Structure 1
Amino acid sequence: MLLGETFLFSLTLIDCGGILFLLVYYIITLSDLECDYLNAQECCDKLNYWLLPKYTAHSIITILLLLHGQLILFLLNLPMFIWLTFEYFTVPRGNLGAYDPAEIHNRGQLRKHLRDVMIYVGYYLVFFFIYLYCFILALLKGDPLQRSADDQIVTEI
């Protein structure tokens, strides 16, 4: 193990929270495009800029969970890692990125992108609370009072 369990889950909690804030930014930007507050070029430039940090942040979570032997959480994170890898590396030829200004209004692409971001928000929100639960469990596993015997229960402080 590289890090303690408490530190691992605090990092995953912070990382997941950062991704959630980024996804809220995605929702706001796509909604601004839908309401014509932004043009397609500005919107796609803003969203494509944050694709690599989102991919990197999720990759860090996945790799840390694998290195620390949290296999169930790793296996639950693996499908999203594979999907984000697919999304990042399979940009059609001629497009500026996953969000292309020439195609975002064609064939319901804007609705598809909004739907995908909402799915991401749901996924990361569920995992945020899972990481919070694991973080609390890791804090409770430690012995903050340094008791002399393992079977001794402290009822008063």
Structure 2
Amino acid sequence: MGDILLFSLCLVITGALIFLLVFFIITLSDLECDYLNAQECCARLNFWNIPKLWSQLLLFIMLVLSGHIGLVAFNLPICIWLVRQFHFIKRGNIGEYDPAEIHNAGQLRRHMIFVSLHLAWQMISFFVYLYCLLDAVMQEEVILPAEDDVTVLNKPVQTKYYEPPASHDHPARDYDF
């Protein structure tokens, strides 16, 4: 997989994750302001937890397969954190966001902080991938056609090559400054 395609896909996936995390923040703030009930809010958020996890793991796998070790090390902490969050759901809860516990002991505030940190991570990742994409584009070789097929007024354009100006031979001058 070419680097340009890889980083383009990384940008698209990261952009989708950013929009998803903004949705999470809006939904949690709607719950905090009592625009949504806890059951509806948790059902919405738990539905999107698995696609969020798999898209982050897809990014990680693509970077591993392409051999970008620095970016793999950069993405490893967020992947571990998301897998750990998904794996250690308390028994009896319907998902990471449980309507029975979301208002207890500051759970709502904790979820808001975690989603905000994840959003900050994804925004930093977006700009890192954007830099990598621009770097990959700049390193790509430019292939110029062998023949000039440009026509102006039904006549082929004359090919003129750049010629450096003739060198000027000046007599040795002695400057006093």
TM-score (norm 2): 0.81
CA drift of 1:143 comes to: 1.9
Aligned to 1:152: none
Q: Distance in 1 between matches of 2:33 and 2:142?
A: 53
| Matched length | 147
Q: Counterparts of 1:146 and 1:93 in 2: how far apart (Å)?
A: 63
State the percentage of identical aligned residues: 48
Aligned-pair Cα RMSD in Å? 1.4
The answer for the alignment partner of 1:20 in structure 2 is 18
Amino acid at match of 2:23: Y
Counterpart of 1:140? Answer: 138
State the Cα distance separating 1:144 from its structure 2 match: 3.0
Consecutive unaligned residues of structure 1, counting only runs of 5 or more, are 149-154
1:80 aligns to 2:78 (yes or no): yes
Cα separation, 1, equivalents of 2:46 and 2:35: 18
The structure with the larger Rg is: 2
Superposition map of 1:1-157 within 5 A: 3-146=1-144
Deviation at 1:29, TM superposition (A): 0.1
Secondary structure of 1:106 counterpart: coil
CA shift for structure 1 position 141: 1.1
Q: Which amino acid aligns with 1:71?
A: I
For structure 2, the residue ranges without an aligned partner over 5 or more in a row are: 147-161, 163-177
User: Structure 1 CA distance, aligned partners of 2:142 and 2:109?
Assistant: 50
User: What is the TM-score of this pair, normalised by structure 1?
Assistant: 0.91
Q: Write out the 4+ residue segments of structure 1 that deviate beyond 6 Å after TM superposition.
A: none
Q: How far apart are residue 147 of structure 1 and its match?
A: 8.4
2: CA distance, partners of 1:8 / 1:145? 21
- Partner Cα distance (1:109, 1:147) in 2: 62
1:6-37 per-position Cα deviation (integer Å, ceiling 9, x unaligned): 00000001000000000000000000000000
